[in-house]
Amino acid sequence: MKFMDYLKESKEGKNVHLEHLEDNVLNGGVSGAREAIDFLRSLRNMLAGHAGSKMNVTTKWDGAPAIFVGTNPENGKFFVGTKSVFAKNAKLNYTDEDIDENHPSEGLNKKLKLALAFLPKLNIKGVLQGDMMFSKGDIEKETIAGEEYIIFQPNTIVYAVPAKSKLAQAMMAAQVGVVFHTSYSGKTLETMKASYNIDIGRLSTTKDVWFRDASFTDASGSVTFTEEETATITSILSNAGRVFQTIPALTLNRIAASDVFLTQIKTFNNTKVREGKKIADTRIHTQELINWVEAKLNKEVLAAKKEDTKQKRIKEKNEVMRFYRSNAIQLKMIFDLMNLIVDAKLMIIRKLETIKSIGTFVRTDDGFRITAPEGFVAVDHLGKALKLVDRLEFSRQNFNAQKAWDK
């Protein structure tokens, strides 16, 4: 199986965001919950060695910033940019002066100028999206556990490559390093559609640019569940299916259809991620959510300066709190389901983490600590993609990490 990097599309067909597997329960309602369970079953089948499993998995590289490079089909000019290239007021950078105007912040400005200077040498057809891993001056030499490495830290994770390897030599010689994961085609930027079956073999090579795609070494045959592990994850997924059947469809779909409920629940859950806390008791978590939402809405009521605004907010608050209080039992079951999905997801992540091509670390006060890669992306046979990330490990670090490139 060839593993191709695949990111979730927006409605416009642009690669803008990738959702956590368990959050699909909230984002997609009944269909989203069923989809998450089916994803995990397919991944279980793949890692259990079942033939015909229609699921791809790719590694996620923790690069930054995200860049878009290629030729604007509307004028034939080469450009570089960030995700704003698809905005209504698109920020396309054809020259250094454009970068100074659109991206004056020091770190991003410097990296985009290097991209503009050296990426044209790749002779990119169309538009590619990727993550910058390093630029000249970012790479350092470091001794870790008695071994000599070159290291670079584009975002949260520190990547380490044996200093005497050919890979390290290529990186040291390069002006910029990029991992590409998405290509775009179309007659205009507005109508461009994403394709994740990217072929970097068509790009020209140059010592000034180290690049690769986000492909992941084939795990089949070398990363497989034991019979005991297969039985364990099968039991977890069976429990998830039973819990799913007990949750009223109306509650699941109402959350998915409401930006208010969806944002509140996901925001509250992320406060726990930032604190590194697992949802251990879903009953307590539900009550804490209700209290948190009420406190937040009370502040908005108190902040109202006009009486009519205040009364409007009170009415909205009462409607929101009525939903939460009348659906407390259902919310608990939703969190039970999400916990089971996380348990199965972590079994899959731990197994996939056993294959690593480049060392990954996080900085500590006394040096470096080995960590897992950022995570993985699962893609089903219909092209739907969701990310597999240990949120209590990587997402917590990512929430609290300083992005050195965004000065």
Size of the chain, expressed as the number of residues it contains = 407
As a whole-number percent, the residues of the chain with pLDDT over 90 amount to 58
Residue 404 has pLDDT above 60, yes or no: no
Provide CB contacts within 8 A for 350, sequence distance 6+. Answer: none
Residue with tokens 């089909």: 73
Domain ranges in the chain?
24-60+220-400, 66-213
Average pLDDT on 113-128 reads: 96
Say how far apart CA 383 and CA 55 lie, in whole Å.
Answer: 9
Q: If we measure between CA atoms, which residue out of 262, 216, 183, 230 comes closest to residue 379?
A: 216
Say how far apart CA 163 and CA 235 lie, in whole Å.
Answer: 45
Average pLDDT on 163-185 reads: 93
pLDDT at 166: 92
Q: Is the dihedral of CA 229, 48, 339, 275 positive or negative?
A: positive
Residue 241 has pLDDT above 60, yes or no: yes
Q: pLDDT by residue (tens digit) across 188-228? A: 888 888 876 678 889 999 999 999 887 655 444 456 888 99
CA–CA distances in Å: residue 329 to residues 58, 257, 323 = 37, 19, 11
Q: pLDDT by residue (tens digit) across 18-74? A: 688 999 999 999 999 999 999 899 889 888 876 555 566 667 788 889 999 999 999
Q: pLDDT by residue (tens digit) across 359-379? A: 777 777 777 777 766 777 766
pLDDT at 351: 86
